[in-house]
Amino acid sequence: MAPWTKSALMSVLSKFIWGVRIMLEVTDISLQYGASQALKGVSVSAEVGKVTCILGRNGVGKTSLLRAVVGQHPIPAGSIAWQGET
């Protein structure tokens, strides 16, 4: 198992300290299309009752991220949890 990343550790600590309820948590995911790296080490979380927005210019991986979250693209690294279940 890989060592804790800073983002993963901060996520766990915020849940413990502040009692944050996480609806969606994406941790260090990577995604490739052949030899092209679409996502590398991406982490994001969406809390219950808050709005989360993914912004970026064309071609930076917004759609790839969403397709990975809904299961259209398998991810070789990282994890995706919906309401605490992977």
How high is the mean pLDDT in each 10-residue block of the chain (86 residues)? Answer: 64 60 90 91 90 93 93 91 83
Cβ contact 14:7 at 8 Å: no
Q: What 8-state DSSP symbol labels residue 85?
A: B
Q: What 8-state DSSP symbol labels residue 5?
A: P
Which residues partner with 81 through β-bridges? 25
Three-state SS at 68: helix
Residue 60 backbone zone (phi > 0: left; psi -120 to 50: alpha; other: beta): alpha
Spatial CA neighbour of 75 closest among 63, 60, 65, 85: 65
